[in-house]
Structure 1
Amino acid sequence: MSIRKTVIALSIISLLSACQFDGDKGDQGEIGATGAQGIQGEQGDQGFNGENATSKVKVEVVGRFSAGGSEIAGKSAAEIVQFHKTSNSAFAVNSALNQIEVINLTSLPNTEVGNPVSDTSLSSTAFTFPNEVNVLLPNNTREIITLGAANSIAIYENTLAIAVEADEKTNLGAVLFYQLNNQGAGTLIKAVKVGALPDMVTFTHDGAKVLVANEGEPNKAYTIDPEGSISVISITNNLPEDIANEINLSSNITFSSDLLSANDYDTDAERVALLKQRGLKLAGPVNTSLAQSLEPEYISVSEDNKTAFVSLQENNAIGIIDLEHNTIEIKPLGFKNWNEFQLDFTNKDEIPSFSHVKNLFGMYQPDTITTYQWQGATFVLSANEGDSRDYDGYSEEVRVEDIIDVDELNKALSVELQAAYDASGGSDGLGRLKVTTALGDADNDGIYEALYAYGARSFSIWDQNINLVYDSGDDFGKISASVLGNNFNSAHTENKGDNRSDDKGGEPEAIAVGKVGDRTYGFIASERSGDLFIYDITNPFNVTFSAFYNNRDFNVDFELDDDLDNPCDPNEGMDCSMITSAGDLGPESIKFVSADDSPSGKPLLIIGNEVSGSVTIYQVLAE
């Protein structure tokens, strides 16, 4: 039977069936009487109080300290900051004078100062420490260490810890412990020997331990390269132990995967192979050991004091420290795909200009990290600054144009990368971007299939296993450009916009976390541009941007070079005569002070700006 005849037959059957069941319409029934009302149910339990819905905040400058003008500019006169509740004081490391500035905040106002950029309403008292200390050694003898610069401070209740490198930074340094009084003055308790270049120090939340990130940087010639390490100093009844325990970055490295057994990583070669397979970045001269290559940068402790996290910036990794067994597991962070986001990679056009670039990746390379809790779990926040090994004796850093320059690397880009290079403007476009030579030519055939730039120009949130939960993507560059226009991505050495786009952008450097009302916020400051970004991170899986601030006057003319012994040297063409009017330059650290601890009763941010030598106090207000 044809399809047409079948369709007609089925239609007739359907019509006949419809007629068969289509009866006469019946009479409407009577409406029944309304029934009696039922018994009222019992009252339910009261619901939980909801969180304060406010997710927007603003900041106001309520005080500012300046260590000086052109005589201290560029000399790290206000670097790492902390808060001492007993004396209501901000403490700031002043490397220019090698002392601690104690800035009293007792009379801090609740209203914004008249001129936030140039305010100098706060003053300080100098806290000095000796040039040499006597430390106990494991063999029960004593040694005198000649000290160099202070790099970091931490305060727990009335105990102050100062991390100080040796006068030769490749030698072992020390942590100095002081008992503070109610004026912020201190009495030396003792000094404890630690690793080479102690760059950051922190207490556990219960004050039972002090952790030190010993960065172990090489000398400029790269002829001496000490090992990086973590020092753990136990404290009993407020008294530090004489000898620090060391977590070394060789035999104390562990792997948590049940797919591996201990004998799979009991040699340095095996550890290196496993970590490189997982994406660890290693860069250095031939025969550099793993412990020499790993350089601990910044430590944050979990709320239960059982775990700490350490950024390994140059290696693009975070280490998970087991404080019960003094071991460390290293977690490479992977790479950010810049084809999924946009960045400005050249400073030559001197305007904000954002592009996708296929096969261009960013190494997260966090500097400061911090932690907070959500649903009883620990999350790690990272400021993804980026950093290279760039020394006289060894450097991994090149511009993309140097890769194909016959007088430089004399190598090639893949067909795709070369096309992107040409379309961008060549040596004035993508060619300006700084990348690493340690990655990109995976098969060593002389052709770079991918490019790896320093930093991710963002902040990230990682879970306690260092899986990526959130990244701010290209927010920082676009937010800054929308507010500052052509001044975005300025360096902290002069007011010239767009001059860091070819490097690491604004360079997210400092990060802190704190609660305002019932909401939790992340505060991130960019070292070069001076931008402050605030995000609502109450739920790490639902992060929102909240506020932006920049305490800098881009109309002031100045120029300095912080690589010079005298960064403002007029004989080198520098001019810092107007630097005190330029505002805050080079934010290096942030300390959040809760409303309960604040002398003004308002949540505070204390920001240390190492280039301008200023410490700026912000109050944080819910909008």
Structure 2
Amino acid sequence: MLNRTFRRSALAVMVAAVATGAQAESFNRIASFSTVKNLPAGSDIREETSAEIIDVSEDGKTLVYSDSPLEGLGIIDISDADEPEAAGFMKLEGEPTSVAFTNEYVLAGVNTSVSYTQPSGFLAAIDLDDKKIEKRCDLGGQPDSVAVSKDGKYVAVAIENERDEDLNDGILPQLPAGFLVIAPLEDGKPDCSDMRRVELTGLAEIGGSDPEPEFVDFNENNEIVVTLQENNHLVIVDAKSGKVVNHFSAGSVDLKMVDLKKDRALTFNKTQENRLREPDAVKWLDNDRFVTANEGDMDGGARGFTIFHKDGRVLFESGAGFEHEVIMAGHYPEKRSGKKGNEPEGLAVGKFGKDTYIFVLSERGGAIGVYRDTGAAPEFMQLLPSGIGPESAVAIPSRNLLISANEKDLIEDKGPRSHVMVYELNGKEATYPQIVSGRNAAGEPIGWGALSGLTADAKDAGKLYAVNDSFYSSQPTIFSIDATQTPAKITSALPVTRDGKPAEKLDLEGIALDGNGGFWLASEVKPKKTVPHAIYHVNAKGEIDRTLNFPEALLKHEKRFGAEGITMVGDNLWIAIQRQWADDPENTVKLVSYNLKTNTWGAVRYPTEAATKGWVGLSEITAHEDDIYIIERDNQIGEDAKIKRLYKVEQSDLKPAPLGSKLPLVKKELVRDFIPDLKAANGYVTDKIEGFTVDASGKGYAVTDNDGVDDSSGETFFFSIGKM
């Protein structure tokens, strides 16, 4: 049973006082909590669940989040922030849209609409001790955001009455119109009899007869700021009188150096003029200024955030600046280029010591931008990994914590589940990102992602090269990496070309230096494609000047998963085939060789571990001194991930036999289990550890593939495992 630790107490005040001491340097993720742990007893583990809007008790120890798919509220005990614990689930009679704590209760907006034209819902005051609704108020429409005033006197609810996006292309108006509800609070519960309805029609130039309020927030003067996202409008309402004291257009912004086309390429050389901001979340910074996350909805979306004065002045505009930080951390969602890019949706604001921080949530990029409020242009501090689809966040300055709720549950695609993540301002250096990019000669951010193969310069320690895979099939690229920096830095991007054009439709999974300034690249494709499995040689300019097609003796047994890595041992290229082909015995795969002098093919067999779930295959092969190193992994994530390992095989054991003959089986030796490395980030274990190399000083480096931020957290882990 939960006790009332979430109520106001002397202890909470004392903790807050202690936390106002020395300013720490960075936020770091210290824990993650899967919402699966809060599934009600008897539930199917495969049932969809989600953490959407989240809030925290006044003592900072209890979290409550809305779970729309399960139509209820999840509760998390963070008394020990490093070890969040499931504290139960409460079923509601409808879909919760938002939650907010008072000093005694949790207030939840609950949508009970039967259709877009018959919206309905109620506001519930919930006692967490017995998980019962103590009071409910009919709202007269479909609720969205809920906020409680800082003095605990009022609650505000945005009644969105959202439109049907499939009707008339979603064009406004679609009645009934939305409005704002304000109710006084008595002992933490709303006074339904004194609830006021504030009309918002006739204010916006866009769809003025059909306002759709999205988000609400209070300042200390009990003024409420309301975003009308689809109407591109902002409204200031006095809570006591219920009167609109100001309103103004959210305006537009010109975006520079953005990618506007979904084409499997990262090209940030376009300009978008007069882009409507269409803000979603809004938070006050003080009694005069507030910040908006400009996600967009209809024909807008400014990809960043804006600081407004309540008189309507724009005090700061991020433009494409926030998106550029997302890009350079490898979190840019290319598939959203033709729409709204990284889509900043959620916000949190908190004062930690002397500094006020703004947290901007990139819904599609799976990242949180941390900015320090300076009173003028905010200072970018860092980017945090957030999991898939961060919907909301809450700051807990009294405990130096930040919490994010990530709504995306990919159970149907056997992907990551929804998570709540915990970050701490702990005085340590930022542990993420571990690799970033710089800008090109034109000043544009260097886009990257889906890193697969990795290799190292033979003479220059810390100088590495990587390739991207087929997620960016229109833009195969060789990236130069300076691993002597922290984080490591992608300093340049070399396009791979054929006949002067991008060599499209390649799936580059492996890279090796040729010893003469060029590279050998291994490309994996699906069988019977127009661009088959092959090995390519490129010169120092990235031009393909030689192609080694796989021989028929190999291809007649092919399956989908092909070349996953390549390395050179003397005159031989060695290629790791990811998975078992038709002629391979169970739990074996081929290591294929090609002799550059005799132009002959051969192979050996490599023994893989048996899969406990899914499959096990190879991801990389790299030579160093007398051994070759091989990454062997399963295709599982989170707690199901069991095999993410580095093995080595003695080069003297690589005695290739002709294709079609009986192939010798090599012996392997375990070098490292990567799962502790992947757990060290305090998120969930990602699927694809894809690249490994040893630099000129003998230091080993590994990198993960973030799947192009497509149904992925976007996190890329790049780390050294020390001397080999």
TM-score for both structures, normalised by structure 1: 0.58
Structure 2 unaligned regions, length at least 5: 1-19, 410-416, 430-724
Residue of structure 1 aligned with 2:405, choices 596, 607, 612: 607
> Secondary structure, in 3 states, of the residue corresponding to 1:346?
coil
- C-alpha deviations, 1:32-66, integer Å up to 9, x for none? xxxxxxxxxxxxxxxxxxx9996952322323233
Task: Decide whether the 8 Å contact of 2:102 with 2:188 is kept in 1.
Answer: no
1:218 Cα deviation from its structure 2 partner: 3.0
Distance, in Å, in 2 between the alignment partners of 1:603 and 1:531 is: 16
Q: Report which of the two structures shows the higher radius of gyration computed on alpha carbons.
A: 1
Distance, in Å, in 2 between the alignment partners of 1:473 and 1:168 is: 39
Distance, in Å, in 1 between the alignment partners of 2:47 and 2:285 is: 33
1:75 Cα deviation from its structure 2 partner: 5.4
User: What aligned pairs does 1:239-388 form with structure 2 within 5 A after superposition?
Assistant: 239-243=189-193, 244-250=195-201, 271=202, 275=204, 280-282=205-207, 290-291=208-209, 293-305=210-222, 307-328=223-244, 329-338=246-255, 341-357=256-272, 360-373=273-286, 377-388=287-298
- C-alpha deviations, 1:123-165, integer Å up to 9, x for none? 3411223x3xxxxxxxxxxxxxxxx311111101121111011
Distance, in Å, in 2 between the alignment partners of 1:122 and 1:477 is: 34
Structure 1 unaligned regions, length at least 5: 1-50, 114-120, 132-147, 251-270, 283-289, 389-435, 437-453, 491-497, 552-583
1:316 Cα deviation from its structure 2 partner: 1.0
Whether 2:139 is the aligned partner of 1:194: answer yes
Distance, in Å, in 2 between the alignment partners of 1:542 and 1:512 is: 17
Assess, with a 3 A threshold, how the Cα gap between structure 1 residues 479 and 591 changes in structure 2: closer, same or farther: same
Aligned to 2:26: 57
- C-alpha deviations, 1:448-499, integer Å up to 9, x for none? xxxxxx2111111111213110111212222222221xxx432xxxxxxx11
Assess, with a 3 A threshold, how the Cα gap between structure 1 residues 57 and 210 changes in structure 2: closer, same or farther: same
Whether 2:75 is the aligned partner of 1:102: answer yes
Distance, in Å, in 2 between the alignment partners of 1:324 and 1:99 is: 31
Assess, with a 3 A threshold, how the Cα gap between structure 1 residues 66 and 324 changes in structure 2: closer, same or farther: closer
- C-alpha deviations, 1:6-30, integer Å up to 9, x for none? xxxxxxxxxxxxxxxxxxxxxxxxx
Aligned to 1:425: none
Matched to 2:91, the amino acid is: T
User: What aligned pairs does 1:508-547 form with structure 2 within 5 A after superposition?
Assistant: 508-537=344-373, 539-547=374-382
Aligned to 2:304: 458
Aligned to 1:206: 151
- C-alpha deviations, 1:481-533, integer Å up to 9, x for none? 2221xxx432xxxxxxx111111001001111112221111011111111110
Residue of structure 1 aligned with 2:341, choices 505, 517, 539: 505
Matched to 1:175, the amino acid is: L
Assess, with a 3 A threshold, how the Cα gap between structure 1 residues 355 and 87 changes in structure 2: closer, same or farther: closer
Distance, in Å, in 2 between the alignment partners of 1:516 and 1:529 is: 26
Distance, in Å, in 2 between the alignment partners of 1:126 and 1:318 is: 35
Distance, in Å, in 2 between the alignment partners of 1:527 and 1:84 is: 25
Aligned to 2:487: none
Residue of structure 2 aligned with 1:82, choices 51, 55, 72: 55
Whether 2:179 is the aligned partner of 1:229: answer yes
Distance, in Å, in 2 between the alignment partners of 1:362 and 1:65 is: 36
Task: Decide whether the 8 Å contact of 1:55 with 1:546 is kept in 2.
Answer: no
Distance, in Å, in 2 between the alignment partners of 1:455 and 1:165 is: 26
Assess, with a 3 A threshold, how the Cα gap between structure 1 residues 507 and 105 changes in structure 2: closer, same or farther: same
More helix by share: 1
1:198 Cα deviation from its structure 2 partner: 0.3
> Secondary structure, in 3 states, of the residue corresponding to 1:195?
coil
Distance, in Å, in 2 between the alignment partners of 1:457 and 1:607 is: 20
1:206 Cα deviation from its structure 2 partner: 1.4
Task: Decide whether the 8 Å contact of 2:66 with 2:99 is kept in 1.
Answer: yes
> Secondary structure, in 3 states, of the residue corresponding to 1:315?
coil
Distance, in Å, in 2 between the alignment partners of 1:350 and 1:54 is: 41
Task: Decide whether the 8 Å contact of 2:121 with 2:139 is kept in 1.
Answer: yes
1:82 Cα deviation from its structure 2 partner: 0.9
> Secondary structure, in 3 states, of the residue corresponding to 1:191?
strand
Whether 2:142 is the aligned partner of 1:180: answer no
1:342 Cα deviation from its structure 2 partner: 2.3
- C-alpha deviations, 1:240-265, integer Å up to 9, x for none? 21232100124xxxxxxxxxxxxxxx
Task: Decide whether the 8 Å contact of 2:49 with 2:70 is kept in 1.
Answer: no
More strand by share: 2
Distance, in Å, in 2 between the alignment partners of 1:474 and 1:516 is: 27
Aligned to 1:593: 396
Distance, in Å, in 1 between the alignment partners of 2:339 and 2:101 is: 35
Task: Name the count of aligned residue pairs.
Answer: 389
- C-alpha deviations, 1:387-446, integer Å up to 9, x for none? 01xxxxxxxxxxxxxxxxxxxxxxxxxxxxxxxxxxxxxxxxxxxxxxx4xxxxxxxxxx
> Secondary structure, in 3 states, of the residue corresponding to 2:426?
strand
1:354 Cα deviation from its structure 2 partner: 2.8
User: What aligned pairs does 1:123-138 form with structure 2 within 5 A after superposition?
Assistant: 123-129=86-92, 131=93
Assess, with a 3 A threshold, how the Cα gap between structure 1 residues 171 and 474 changes in structure 2: closer, same or farther: closer
Assess, with a 3 A threshold, how the Cα gap between structure 1 residues 330 and 464 changes in structure 2: closer, same or farther: closer
1:378 Cα deviation from its structure 2 partner: 2.2
Distance, in Å, in 2 between the alignment partners of 1:310 and 1:87 is: 26
Task: Decide whether the 8 Å contact of 2:60 with 2:396 is kept in 1.
Answer: no
Assess, with a 3 A threshold, how the Cα gap between structure 1 residues 71 and 310 changes in structure 2: closer, same or farther: farther
1:73 Cα deviation from its structure 2 partner: 8.7
Task: Decide whether the 8 Å contact of 1:308 with 1:321 is kept in 2.
Answer: yes
Distance, in Å, in 2 between the alignment partners of 1:67 and 1:174 is: 27
Assess, with a 3 A threshold, how the Cα gap between structure 1 residues 189 and 124 changes in structure 2: closer, same or farther: closer
Aligned-CA RMSD value: 2.7
Distance, in Å, in 1 between the alignment partners of 2:380 and 2:46 is: 32
Distance, in Å, in 1 between the alignment partners of 2:425 and 2:351 is: 10
TM-score for both structures, normalised by structure 2: 0.50
Distance, in Å, in 1 between the alignment partners of 2:71 and 2:45 is: 12
Assess, with a 3 A threshold, how the Cα gap between structure 1 residues 609 and 71 changes in structure 2: closer, same or farther: farther
Whether 2:398 is the aligned partner of 1:482: answer no
Matched to 2:308, the amino acid is: W
Matched to 1:58, the amino acid is: F
- C-alpha deviations, 1:270-324, integer Å up to 9, x for none? x46xx5xxxx333xxxxxxx34x2100000101121x110011011111111223
Task: Decide whether the 8 Å contact of 2:150 with 2:218 is kept in 1.
Answer: yes
- C-alpha deviations, 1:68-89, integer Å up to 9, x for none? 7998899561111111245821
Residue identity (%): 23
